[in-house]
Structure 1
Amino acid sequence: MKKNYIRFLSIPLFMLICLSCFLPQAFAGKKDDTLNIAFSKELETLDRYFNTAREGIVISRHAYDNLLYRDPVTYEYKGLLAKSFKWNSDTEMEIVLRQGVKFHNGQELTADDVAYTLNFAANPDNKVKTQRYSDWIDHVEKTGTYTVKIMLKKPFPAAFEFLSGANPIYPKAYYSKVGVNGFGVAPIGTGPYKITEVIPGKKVVMEKNNDYFKDSPKGQPTIGKIIWRTLPEINTQMAELMTGSLDWIYLVPPDQAEKLAKMSNLTVTPAETMRIGYLQFDAVNRSGKEHGMDNPYAKLGVRQAINHAINRDSIAKNLIGGQSRSIYSACFPSQFGCEQDVAQYEYNPVKAKQLLAEAGYPNGFETTLYGYRNRSFAEAMIGDLAAVGIKAKLMIMKYSALREKARAGKAQMQFLTWGSYSINDVSAITSHFFEFEADDLAMDPKVKDWLLEADTSIDTPKRKELYSKALKRIADQAYWAPMFTYVSNNCYSKDLNFTPYPDAVPRFFQATWK
């Protein structure tokens, strides 16, 4: 039986190899010092402020620089375009810029560029799509040729995080001349790679910036050229990777990644990302109060029972694989303030049945599990719930439709995921879901008050203490059932030295040929 199963799985792989014979070959790779990569999503613009896609983040890190840089290993904030940075008060930051940094057109970076870019991004009239990344800025003042002050609307301790990952600096003269549309197809930055060719929807060519400033914590780029292609179909990407037309792809499904890993010319790294999966319950009983629905999830015992009923470890190990792991706190473990010493609901169906009986459901109940992705993960959860008497029907919807349904109080249990936009701070996830905003289905005033205080304090120990209190109460009350971390299957040529990181932002400027 096992031999037949393996033979059956090999058929799609054989078809991919056959398909690859008819695909155009890219005469590049290690021998031509050209890294060929592919992503599925088409970018409408290369202006980071007007796209929110992960692909836009990747382009941005290579073509542009931010004021700060977060080390992906130590999580330390380092000066990038900034020579130094400090708080003058809880609503004022002082930045001293490096001197001699050049944009790709030869213009020197000055305070004018920084003030112009950040003021443009923070101004709601400009309607940037990344407004949430800069709406904490009141205004930026130029105080010298290479110095600026950033004035905040209110205390925002995650400012360093947002300045390191979400607000690239553009050349004032060029951007104001060509405008948003012109910059979107012919961008200029200070980054380790300069964009030399753009064919919208098809290809972006980046060449090594030989004048990149030597003290950059990003390091110096090594590979001479990067050709970025848009290939919507993962099967096409895999076929080209196998034949050498591509050198790197990611987000490959686990079963396909396992097959690619067996090929002698490829490396597969199933790296953990900051995205987590979790169940969210209508603990505040919005569905009952607004729609008169019977809502078992308003009872603590039911929420705790579900936490015990689902085998997180099995899903992480057998369905996700790689570096995936179980989690019990409502955040990603590396994020600042993500307390790990919280109530941990081990897999225990007997305990789950006991809790259900104590909550008034000795025979379980019927329900619906809503989700928008990863059907196989949801089906595994449904199987575990059935084992303790909870008969759940799976309803897969588009994310936007599910979000509106939940906000309207019509989705009592949801399987959701959140990647925190690669922001390494609890405020990017826990605060979003537990501060009485539209997606808060707990409405716990204690949790809200702790989070709000932590979100507006620049006292690091105090922030940690407050986030700890909030996350412990969230776990004790089982408002969520945190499940597991996600993995990004990075598949690439054996000739390439490449290291993936949890923020799921590929750093090709650190890659080298073997």
Structure 2
Amino acid sequence: MSIGRRRLGQGVAAAAGGLALPWIAARPAEAQRSANTLRIAFRDAVPNIDPFFNSQRTGLIIGHQAMDGLVHREPATFRIVPALATEWRWVDSKTLDFTLRSGVKFHDGSDFGADDVVYTLNTVANPATRVATPSNYAWIDGCEKTGDNTVRLTMKRPTPAALEYLALVTPIWPKATRERLGPDGFSRLPIGTGPYRFTKNDVAAGVEFERFDGYYEGGPKGRPAIQKLVARYIGDAATELTELLGQRVDWIWNMNPDQVNNVNRMPYLQATRQESMRVGFLNLDAAGRSGADNPMTKLKVRQAVWHAIDRTAIAERLVGGGSRVPPAPCFPSQFGCNGDVAVRYDYDPAKARALLAEAGYPNGFDVELTSYVQPRQWSEAVQNYLRAAGIRANLNLMQVAAQIQRSQRGELAMQMASWGSYSINDVSAILPVYFANGADDYARDPEMIRLVEEGGNTAEEEVRKTAYDAAIRRATEQAYWCPLHTYVSTFGFQKQLEFPTFADELPRFYMAKWK
């Protein structure tokens, strides 16, 4: 056994296996079946459930149940199919024409039409709107109405993944209602055209939905079998699991992987796993945003961080379920994510210590390590590896929204987090977020910015690949953003619940049903 694996065992084994399953007498889920209700638990609270104004995966999931875009991506095949638009045509590499579906109603009873599409796309593309992830919409130049039920979308640059962005992160607002309520009023209980409608939103406690019986005929999400969804925010994994075991919730996810077998022993529960497109990472403040004297501004310190962590041990022994270490700062299946050009950093704590000494830190240093990652033993494992190499990482576990706010203010020297690319299978959904001079960019490297923009400004595959290859090579040479592992979504739910899972990390409650 390697030093890294011994330390993993010593440092986090107790946490990994220490959550004992309490003996709770099984109570059947008949009450929920008869009430036609599904009780859901999410780990993180979402301050703004309008999906344009949060970058949390939980926010994307919540919005997906209630709001539709022009097109839809089938979860099993990734094929783009009609949604609010029935047809589309590429006029040229920067222009898309859409024919809109007739007879669609918003949840407030108003009619969907071309004005809503034009209003939504032009609003979110405007930098003054301050959407949560500007790179998702920065490619949009504008949208115009070309007929009673037709619109034209023009792009600032060729965007091969345009339909994926429109399917996954661009739901359509009702223009008149949002203008009447104002952005803040609208976001309290957003109105869409999806199969569920919001009925309650408490930013601290959770969200409730009800089936929208007016969902349009032929809609790609179909009519839900379950009448009501009640989603609660539960802040930690142990409490969440206890609630599932006590049958006070019916569905959880991303629970501690060590509990999968234990949950499956319960006669009334089941647990499943599915690798997702989410990547866990360390973002290091090379730009000195958190302070010019920040050690992460030194290349050898960043390289020491990469060498200090046994990422393979974390992926295989803590995350499990087929988790792997991406060599590049992206998910391996994404277009442009060429791991072969990445600089590799083996686990080598002796080399990490030597690099720290060369950088002027022979006795190491103290640094705040912020993390919202659950289970907490994943963060503790990283902390232990860093400490063994001389980096005294003081772990500060935070709520997701709070850490995102601190990160975007430029306050964090070292942060542990994750990114799911909104399930878009193209590096344009991840590289611009962290390397294009936005709020989450802690490299602020002009060459990286140039390469990422070059890869995103053309539809020519070879030009894109060349630019992205160079960006990946530079990002890993400079040890800016350390990919730790891919995520494996772990679901736990009532055996009486039929719930399909997919690789895109987007739970679809409108496809669930009680048996």
Q: TM-score range by the shorter chain?
A: 0.7 to 0.9
| Equivalent residue for 2:169, pick from 160, 166, 170 | 166
Amino acid of the residue matched to residue 403 of structure 1?
A: S
Shift of 1:88: 2.9
Shift of 1:91: 4.0
The yes-or-no answer on 1:241 pairing with 2:247 is no
Alignment coverage as a number of residue pairs: 491
Aligned to 1:77: 80
Shift of 1:313: 1.7
Shift of 1:95: 1.6
Aligned to 2:339: 340
Unaligned 5+ segments in structure 2 are: 1-13
State the alpha-carbon separation in 2 of the partners of residues 404 and 212 from structure 1: 37
Q: Secondary structure at the match of 2:75?
A: coil
- Residues 398-413 of structure 1: matches in 2 within 5 Å? 399=403, 403=407, 407=410, 411=413
Residue deviations 1:159-197 (CA, integer Å, cap 9, x gap) = 3332112221133344444544554455443212234x3
Amino acid of the residue matched to residue 448 of structure 1?
A: I
Shift of 1:395: 2.1
Aligned to 2:316: 317
Shift of 1:94: 1.6
State the alpha-carbon separation in 2 of the partners of residues 480 and 204 from structure 1: 34
Change (3 A) 1:359 1:64: same
State the alpha-carbon separation in 1 of the partners of residues 262 and 330 from structure 2: 32
8 Å contact kept, 1:378–1:394: no
8 Å contact kept, 1:372–1:402: no
| Equivalent residue for 1:366, pick from 355, 364, 367 | 364
The yes-or-no answer on 1:376 pairing with 2:385 is no
Amino acid of the residue matched to residue 433 of structure 2?
A: H
Aligned to 1:148: 151
Q: TM-score when scaled to structure 2? A: 0.79
Q: Secondary structure at the match of 1:28?
A: helix
Aligned to 1:396: 395
Q: Secondary structure at the match of 2:336?
A: coil
The yes-or-no answer on 1:13 pairing with 2:22 is yes
Aligned to 2:434: 433
Shift of 1:492: 0.5
Shift of 1:506: 1.1
432-441 or 486-495: bigger deviation: 432-441
State the alpha-carbon separation in 1 of the partners of residues 438 and 19 from structure 2: 48
8 Å contact kept, 2:276–2:504: yes
Shift of 1:149: 1.1
Unaligned 5+ segments in structure 1 are: none
Shift of 1:96: 1.7
- Residues 244-263 of structure 1: matches in 2 within 5 Å? 244-257=247-260, 259-263=262-266
The yes-or-no answer on 1:226 pairing with 2:228 is yes
Aligned to 2:276: 273
8 Å contact kept, 1:285–1:297: no
The yes-or-no answer on 1:97 pairing with 2:96 is no
8 Å contact kept, 1:332–1:338: yes
State the alpha-carbon separation in 1 of the partners of residues 352 and 308 from structure 2: 11
| Equivalent residue for 1:57, pick from 60, 64, 68 | 60
Residue deviations 1:426-465 (CA, integer Å, cap 9, x gap) = 1232233333556555555544332111111122343233
Change (3 A) 1:445 1:222: closer
Change (3 A) 1:237 1:361: closer
State the alpha-carbon separation in 1 of the partners of residues 284 and 53 from structure 2: 33
Residue deviations 1:483-507 (CA, integer Å, cap 9, x gap) = 2123333211112222333443211
Shift of 1:117: 2.6
8 Å contact kept, 1:34–1:223: no
Shift of 1:335: 2.6
State the alpha-carbon separation in 2 of the partners of residues 226 and 339 from structure 1: 43
State the alpha-carbon separation in 2 of the partners of residues 212 and 404 from structure 1: 37
Q: Secondary structure at the match of 1:341?
A: helix
Change (3 A) 1:107 1:444: closer
8 Å contact kept, 2:500–2:512: yes
Q: Secondary structure at the match of 1:163?
A: helix
Change (3 A) 1:34 1:442: closer
State the alpha-carbon separation in 1 of the partners of residues 407 and 207 from structure 2: 34
Amino acid of the residue matched to residue 460 of structure 2?
A: D
8 Å contact kept, 2:157–2:458: no
Aligned to 2:512: 511
Q: Secondary structure at the match of 1:249?
A: strand
Q: Secondary structure at the match of 1:372?
A: strand
Q: Secondary structure at the match of 2:255?
A: coil
Shift of 1:329: 0.7
8 Å contact kept, 2:277–2:505: yes
Identity of aligned residues (%): 37
Shift of 1:66: 0.4
Shift of 1:479: 3.8
Amino acid of the residue matched to residue 327 of structure 1?
A: P
Q: Secondary structure at the match of 1:141?
A: strand
The yes-or-no answer on 1:469 pairing with 2:470 is yes
- Residues 448-459 of structure 1: matches in 2 within 5 Å? 448-459=449-460
Change (3 A) 1:12 1:55: same
Shift of 1:144: 0.7
Aligned to 1:37: 40
Change (3 A) 1:11 1:382: closer
Amino acid of the residue matched to residue 227 of structure 1?
A: L
Change (3 A) 1:376 1:181: closer
8 Å contact kept, 1:121–1:134: yes
Change (3 A) 1:137 1:357: closer
State the alpha-carbon separation in 2 of the partners of residues 145 and 287 from structure 1: 51
Aligned to 2:9: none
State the alpha-carbon separation in 1 of the partners of residues 210 and 405 from structure 2: 41
State the alpha-carbon separation in 2 of the partners of residues 41 and 477 from structure 1: 32
8 Å contact kept, 2:303–2:479: yes
Aligned to 1:264: 267
State the alpha-carbon separation in 2 of the partners of residues 126 and 441 from structure 1: 23
Change (3 A) 1:394 1:317: same
Amino acid of the residue matched to residue 396 of structure 1?
A: L
Change (3 A) 1:89 1:199: closer
Change (3 A) 1:353 1:180: closer
Amino acid of the residue matched to residue 458 of structure 1?
A: A
State the alpha-carbon separation in 2 of the partners of residues 208 and 424 from structure 1: 30
8 Å contact kept, 1:330–1:482: yes
Q: Secondary structure at the match of 2:341?
A: coil
Larger Rg: 1
Aligned to 2:500: 499
State the alpha-carbon separation in 1 of the partners of residues 173 and 356 from structure 2: 60
Residue deviations 1:271-329 (CA, integer Å, cap 9, x gap) = 333332234456678899x44x7779424xx6556544432121112222234222211
8 Å contact kept, 1:371–1:416: no
The yes-or-no answer on 1:485 pairing with 2:489 is no
